[in-house]
Amino acid sequence: MAVAVTLVRMKIAILRHSTTGQRGGMMASGGVLGLLLAAGTIYLAFQEGDWLAAAYAGWMLGWIIGPVFSGGGDETLRPEFFALLGLPARRLAAGLLVSAFVGVAPVISLVALAGLVFAAAPGNVLVAVPAMVLQLAIFVLLSKVAVGLLGIALRSRVGAVGAGLVNGAVLAFLGQAWVFAVAFGQGGRIPSFVRYLPSGWGLLAVQGDYLALLAMAVLIVLLLAAWAALLAGRTGASRPSTRGRRPMRAATAQEAVVAKELRTWSRDLVRTHQLTFALAYGVFFAGAPLALGWTGMLPWAAPVFIVMAAAMTANLYGIDGTALWLTLMTPGASDMRGRQRAWLVTVGPVAVLLAVAFTLVADGPWPLILASVAALLGGAAGLVPLISVYALVPGTDPQRRGGNPLRTSEDDGALTGLAYLTMLLVALSGAPAVVAALLYGWWGVAAGLATGALCYWGLGLLAERRLAAQGPELLHMMRTGRRPEGGGRSVKLPDLPKPQRTIVMTCLSLGAIPLFPQGIVAAAFLANGRVRMSWFLATYMPPGLRWPTAALMILIGLTMYGVGLWIPYRAKKRAKPVDGPAEARPAGTPSARTDPAVYD
Amino acid sequence: MTAAALEISGLAKTFGDKVAVDHVDLTVPQGSFYGLVGQNGAGKTTTLSMAVGLLRPDGGAARIFGADVWSDPARAKQLVGVLPDGLAMPERLTGREVLTYLGLLRGLSKEVVAERAEELLSVLELRDAEKTLVIEYSTGMRKKIGLATALLHAPRLLVLDEPFEAVDPVSAATIKMILRGFVARGGSIVLSSHVMALVEQLCDHVGVIDKGRVAAAGPLDEVRGAATLEDRFVELVGADSTGAKGLSWL
C-alpha cells in the first residue's frame, strides 16, 4: 500500500496548489454544479420506477465520455511520471487507482451514489456502503480504461477517425435520448435493460441481489488488469510516419500559411479526431429522429456540424503551442487570413455537401438551411481565430504531449469553457440569417452570405490586429503554460473618472432592453401583426408610429452599446499612446501593465 | 555609419516579484562572434527574447543595425535570424516543408526558396530525413532545422539561444563550421551558452550575465585577462561552496 499512500499524498499536494485563483474558482463552480446534480440523483431514489438506475447510467456515461471533452480526464498524476521507478504495472495501476479517488469528481459521484442508501430494501442499508464504493470504483476504472483505449486508437489515423465516430455518436444519442425513450414506446418508463448495466449493479445489490456485489468485484479486477496492461503499453510509444508527402505548390505567403495549416489538419491525429467527432455528432444528432420516422431534423446536420467543429477547434493557436514565435518573427505574413482560409477549406466543403444531401433527402427547407450554413461558416471562420487569440488557452507543445494524445493543454477546464463559449457565439452568428430566412425565405440566404462574409472579414481583421499587438504576450503565456493572473486583461475596464464609469456601466447593462425586447422582439410581433402585447411599447402605438417606435428603440439600444464601448476604448487608447514600451513607464501608474507573475 | 549589429540599452523585465533582467546594456559590434554566458536562470533567454521581439520588455530598447525591434519590427526582423531554445516548430511538417513555407512567408520567391532549402538540407545533413516530420526529429536535428530557418532569409545577425545544448558532437561540429563561415563572410552572431570552453573556442566577444545584470562585457581577451574564462566567470559570479561538500551517502 506504500505506493498508493505516496501517490495519494502527491495528489493532495498538487490539488492544494491548484485551489487558488482562476482554477480554484472553476473547481468550485464545477463542484457546486456537480453537487446539485448529485442532489437531484438522490431525489430520484424516492421515485417509483427505474429512474435511479437511469440516473446512474447517466453518471457512468459521464465518466466514460467526459474525458473526451476535458482533454483526457484527470491527469494530475500521470503514469509517465513513474515510468523509471520500475514498479510492477499492477502495483502502479492500483496506486494510481487509489489516488484517482482523491478529487472533486469522485467525491461528488460518491454523494450521488448515496442514493443507494435510500433506495435500499429494509434491512439492506449496510449493503449500501460496499455497493457505493464498488460502484464508484467501476466508474473511475471505466473512465481510465476508456481513456487508455482511446489513447491507443489515436495512434493511428483509422483509430482517430473511429474514436471520433464513436464518441460523436454516443454524445449525440445522449442529447437525443428522448427520441429513443419515445421510440421504445414505453411512454415515460425506463427500459428495463438499464438496471442490468454495470451502473445499476449497486442498485440491484441493495435491493437484495447480493450476487451483484460479487459481479462488481469481478468487474473491478478485470478493469484493473486491463488498465494495468494499457499503462504498460502507454509510456514511450511513438509511430514513425513513412507516408509519401504531397508535392508543394504554394507560391505566395498566404498560400504558404494555408498549405501549412492544411497539412497540419490532415497529419495531427488530435485534429482528425476533433473533426470526425464534430461530423459524427452532427450527423447522428440530426439523424436520431429518423428512429421515429421524422426527417425534419436531418438537414440540420450541417449547421450542427459547423458549430461543433468550431467549438472543437477554437484553440487554434493554442494547439500549436510555442510555434507562435515563427509568426512573430515574420510580421506581415498574414498568418491569420491564411488560417481562416484553411479552416474554411477544411470544414466548408463537408458542411455544404452534408447540407445539400440531407436537405434533398428531407425535401427542404432549402432557404433556411442554406442561409444558416452560409452564415455559420463565415461566422465560425471569423470567430474561431478571434476567440483563439482573445481567450487563448496555453497548449502543450505538440512534441511534449504526454502519452495521452487527447490532452492538448494543461488547463482542460478552460478548454471546455472555451468550447461552450464558441458554440454559443457561433450559433449567435447564424441567428440573423435564420431569422431572415424564416421571415423572407430566400432573402435569408443573401443575408447569410452577407453576415458570413462580414464576420469572416471583420472578425478576422480584429483577430489579426490583436495578434499583431499582443503577440509577445500570447507567446509568453504559451511558454509559461499559464494565463496571466486575473486573466482577461483585454476586457478589463481601464480606470475611468467616476461619472464616465457610471455612464459606461448604465449603457452596457441597460442597452439590451431597448435593443432586444423593445426593439427586435417588438418588431417581430409587429411583423406578425400582433398588437397590445404585455410590455412591448411599439405594439401599443397607433398604427403609423409602431414601426418607427421599434426602429427608434433599436437605435437607442445600439447607441447605448456604442457609447458604452467607445468611452473605455478611447480611455485605453489615451492611456497608451505608443504600442511598444519605447521608454520605461513609472511603475504604479494605471496604464503600466505589469507582466504576469507566472515565471517559473 | 556603422550601427552596431545589436544594441541593447536598459532592457528590463520583471515577472511578479522576480527581477529577471535588470537594465541590461550590451553592444554587439558588426562582424563579431559574441558569447553570452551565465548560470541557468541568470536572464540570458529573457534578454535575448526581448532583444529580438519575442517578449515585451518593461523598459529599455533593442536595435538591430539601427532598426528598433519594437517600433520598426518589420525591418529589424528582416535583418535577424533567431534560434530560440525549446520553442515548438510547425511540428507536422517535414524539414523541407518547414523551410519552404517559412521562406514564402518571408517573402522570398518560390525558386529562391527551393534552392536555399535544398542547400540547407544537404549542408545540415537533414536530407536523409526527407519524409520525417519535425515532431519525430531528435534534439540535434531540431537544433539544425531551427538553425536552417534562422539562416533561410539571409540575415546579417544571428541570435542563437543555447545552439549546442543537447547536440551530439557530430552535429555540433557541423553547426560550428556553418557559424564560423557566417562570421567570416561578415555576419554577426550572438549566442548564449553556459559552456565556457565552447564560448572561448568560438567567440571573440563575451558578455557575462549574472542575476539579470551584466557582470562584465567586451572583447574576450579583455574580459578573461590572464585567467581562463571559466576561472574569471566563477570569480565574477561568486561561486558558492555548498556544491563542493559532496553528497553524504555516496
Q: What is the C-alpha separation between A534 and A518, in angstroms, rounded? A: 11
Q: Determine the pLDDT at residue A306.
A: 93
Q: How far is CA A121 from CA A126, A127, A136, A203, A421, in A?
A: 10, 10, 20, 10, 45
CB distance A399–B135 less than 8 Å? yes
Tell me the three cell numbers of residue A285.
444528432
CB A122 within 8 A of CB A208: no
Start-to-end Cα distance in chain A: 34
Q: What is the C-alpha separation between A78 and A363, in angstroms, rounded? A: 51
| Max intra-chain CA distance, chain B | 63
Q: Determine the pLDDT at residue A495.
A: 58
Tell me the three cell numbers of residue B145.
532545422
Q: Determine the pLDDT at residue B157.
A: 92
Start-to-end Cα distance in chain B: 61
ipTM, interface predicted TM-score of the complex = 0.84
CB distance A323–B20 less than 8 Å? no
Interface check B238 vs A, CB under 8 A: no
Q: Determine the pLDDT at residue B34.
A: 92
| Max intra-chain CA distance, chain A | 85
Q: Determine the pLDDT at residue A376.
A: 93
Contacts of A475 in chain B (CB under 8 A): 54-55
Measure in Å the smallest separation between the Cα of A250 and chain B Cα atoms: 8
Candidates B70, B91, B110; nearest CB to A582: B70
Residue of B101, B106, B151 to mutate, testing the A interface (most A Cβ within 10 Å of its Cβ): B101
- pLDDT digit of tens for each residue in chain A (600 aa)? 677 888 888 888 877 776 665 566 667 777 888 888 888 888 888 877 777 888 888 888 888 877 765 555 566 677 777 767 777 777 777 788 788 888 888 888 888 888 888 888 777 788 888 888 999 999 988 888 888 787 777 667 777 787 788 888 877 877 676 666 666 655 556 677 777 888 888 888 888 888 888 999 999 999 988 888 887 765 544 444 445 567 777 778 888 888 888 888 888 878 888 888 899 999 988 888 777 777 888 888 999 999 999 988 888 888 888 888 888 888 877 888 889 999 999 999 999 999 998 888 888 788 889 999 999 999 999 999 998 888 888 777 777 776 555 666 666 667 777 888 888 888 888 888 888 888 888 888 898 999 999 999 989 989 888 888 888 888 888 888 766 544 443 334 455 666 676 677 667 666 766 777 677 777 777 777 766 655 566 776 677 777 877 888 888 888 877 877 777 777 766 665 444 333 333 333 333 333 333 233
Look at residues A129, A131, A164, A391 and name the one whose alpha carbon lies nearest to residue A272: A164
CB distance A320–B90 less than 8 Å? yes
CB distance A399–B59 less than 8 Å? no
Q: Determine the pLDDT at residue A584.
A: 36
CB A319 within 8 A of CB A271: yes
Q: Determine the pLDDT at residue A499.
A: 66
Candidates A263, A322, A582; nearest CB to B71: A582
Q: Chains A and B: how many Cβ contacts under 8 Å?
A: 153
CB distance B77–A329 less than 8 Å? yes
Residue entry with cell 462580414: A454
The per-residue DSSP string of chain B comes to: ----SEEEEEEEEEETTEEEEEEEEEEE-TT-EEEEE--TTSSHHHHHHHHHTSS--SEEEEEETTEETTTSHHHHHHHEEEE-SS----TTSBHHHHHHHHHHHTT--HHHHHHHHHHHHHHTT-GGGTT-BGGG--HHHHHHHHHHHHHTT--SEEEEESTTTT--HHHHHHHHHHHHHHHHTT-EEEEEES-HHHHHHH-SEEEEEETTEEEEEEEHHHHHTTS-HHHHHHHHHT--GGGGG--TT-
